[in-house]
Amino acid sequence: MAWQINWGRDPPAVPVPSQPAVAGADSWLLSNEGESSSGRQKSGLLLLQNTKGMDGRWMAGRITKIFITHLHGDHFFGLPGLLCTLSLQSSPDPNKPPVDIYGPLGLRSFLWRSLELSHSQLLFPYAVHELVPTRDQCPAEEFRDFSHLDRGEVPPQGPGGRILRLDPGEGSYLLEEDEQLVLRAFRLFHRVPSFGFVLEEKPRPGRLNVQKLKDLGVQPGPLYGKLKGGAAVVLENGVRISPCEVLEEPIPGRKVCILGDCSGAPGDEAPRLCRDADVLVHEATLDDTQQEKAREHGHSTPGMASGFARLCRAKRLVLTHFSQRYKPAGQAGEGDADVAELGRQAESVLGGQEVTLAEDFMTIEIPMKKGKTAALASPE
């Protein structure tokens, strides 16, 4: 099944399909069910599953996870409203798992107090998992220690969640992992601590070599499934067959990397974690002629973004978070610049490799990778 990344725009912005994804107004929505959805959260990453109804309309009530890149107001003030919207679209269900929310330290206190002050009652549980930043993620004078914020004040029925610290060995934060996927966060440098997120699909077993199995006397049946699942089998004649004898090379998984606002990243873990990404989403707030100004405000230019993409060997670069001064050629007014120039600047660094400029309601599909097909088959 395909993954989709969908760009949304939160109300009351007027939906204009050809409008560039401007700074402070874009949402990144990722579905691993081949479906899509939208929410009202600003510039956060939403990991969604099975989110479109039979009539094709978006169903925000299917959102299962929300990721906040950093604590600037235009990037997370919409979160309480989003949760209230989800609640309005939900039915009481005592068995419903919590909506998992990931973001920088201090997010739990903000969300709990916002819902308490507004007397908002959600029909579902939620958990806030806070990432503890390091001091080198922002200018020293901007760093705030929120480690003791509201500790002991949140009532027992308040939001749960984990405190996640940097793994010094991995240089990242392990958020979730199961048999198929691993989700990590990594540090970015901005005016306040910011984070990027990596969703990586684990390699799948290669296809079975049917001809080789037949040569070994194994006919299609349950044994195929066992071998595909990684278990050795013993035939009636006593011959033992290991999966490595009849499986082709593992099929690589997909990788999507989405960076929050940044002008760089501490250490060297970011390019390592994003290595060989199928899609890399990177901000490009200002054009290359204003790189000094961009860095001063903790942002990036197309040249900076494409330099990072080249370092990562990313297969596809998507630029987003443009200043509102950049417009499509037909919409540019006095003082505006052509947004296409941002793409040209990035492509020049990448040797002409095509760069995508994010637009409102744009969808990028990432199909499942396939293994070799000659004389191969899936288990019956």
Kindly report the CATH number assigned to the domain that includes residue 140.
3.60.15.10
Asked if residue 318 lies in contact with residue 281, where contact means CB atoms within 8 angstroms, the answer is yes
Q: Are residues 292 and 223 in the same domain?
A: no
Q: Are residues 239 and 337 in the same domain?
A: no
Q: Are residues 112 and 223 in the same domain?
A: no
Residue 70 included in any domain: yes
Sheet holding 163-164, edge to edge: 163-164, 126-131, 99-104, 63-67, 45-48, 26-31, 3-9, 363-366
Backbone angles phi, psi at 318, to 5 degrees: -120, 120
Residues β-bridged to residue 327:
338
pLDDT given for residue 94 in this prediction: 82
Residue 301 included in any domain: yes
The DSSP code for 20 is: B
Please give the model's pTM, rounded to 2 decimal places.
Answer: 0.83
Q: Which domain holds residue 277?
A: 3-8+27-203+251-366
pLDDT given for residue 31 in this prediction: 61
Q: Are residues 308 and 340 in the same domain?
A: yes
- Please give the Cα distance from 334 to 120 (Å, whole number): 44
Q: Are residues 232 and 287 in the same domain?
A: no
Mapping DSSP to helix (H, G, I), strand (E, B) and coil, where does residue 94 land? coil
Q: Are residues 108 and 124 in the same domain?
A: yes
Asked if residue 196 lies in contact with residue 270, where contact means CB atoms within 8 angstroms, the answer is yes
Q: Are residues 38 and 136 in the same domain?
A: yes
- Please give the Cα distance from 115 to 108 (Å, whole number): 11
Angle between helices 302-312 and 340-349 (to 10 degrees): 40
Residue 145 included in any domain: yes
pLDDT given for residue 82 in this prediction: 87
Q: Are residues 81 and 148 in the same domain?
A: yes
Measured from the Cβ of residue 115, the count of other Cβ atoms closer than 10 Å reads: 20
Q: Are residues 61 and 119 in the same domain?
A: yes
C-alpha pair distances (Å), 306 with each of 191, 193, 207, 349, 352 = 21, 22, 35, 6, 11
Angle between helices 79-88 and 107-117 (to 10 degrees): 60
Residue 322 included in any domain: yes
Q: Report the relative pairing of strands 337-338 and 63-67 from DSSP bridges.
A: unpaired
Mapping DSSP to helix (H, G, I), strand (E, B) and coil, where does residue 115 land? helix
CA nearest 361: which of 4, 2, 15, 14?
15
Q: Are residues 268 and 160 in the same domain?
A: yes
Tell me the catalytic residues.
74
Measured from the Cβ of residue 380, the count of other Cβ atoms closer than 10 Å reads: 13
Per-residue pLDDT of the chain (380 residues; tens, 9 = 90+): 678 888 865 433 333 444 565 554 445 566 654 333 333 333 344 655 434 444 444 555 578 889 999 999 988 998 999 899 888 888 888 888 889 999 999 999 999 999 999 999 999 899 999 999 999 999 999 999 998 876 666 555 567 899 999 999 999 999 999 988 999 999 999 999 999 999 999 998 888 888 888 888 888 888 888 888 888 888 878 888 888 888 888 899 999 999 989 999 999 999 999 999 999 999 999 999 999 999 999 999 999 999 999 999 999 999 999 998 998 877 877 778 999 999 999 999 999 899 999 988 788 999 988 876 433 333 33
Q: Which two tokens stand for residue 349?
A: 């660094």
Angle made by CA atoms 296, 299, 300, in degrees to the nearest 5? 115
pLDDT given for residue 17 in this prediction: 42
Q: Structurally, how many domains does the chain consist of?
A: 2
Residue 304 included in any domain: yes
Residue 195 included in any domain: yes
Residues β-bridged to residue 129:
102
- Please give the Cα distance from 280 to 302 (Å, whole number): 13
Q: Are residues 312 and 217 in the same domain?
A: no
**Strand extents, DSSP E, 72-228:** 99-104, 126-131, 163-164, 173-177, 181-188, 194-201, 208-209
Q: Are residues 229 and 328 in the same domain?
A: no
pLDDT given for residue 352 in this prediction: 86
- Please give the Cα distance from 194 to 298 (Å, whole number): 10
pLDDT given for residue 43 in this prediction: 36
CA nearest 190: which of 149, 146, 133?
133
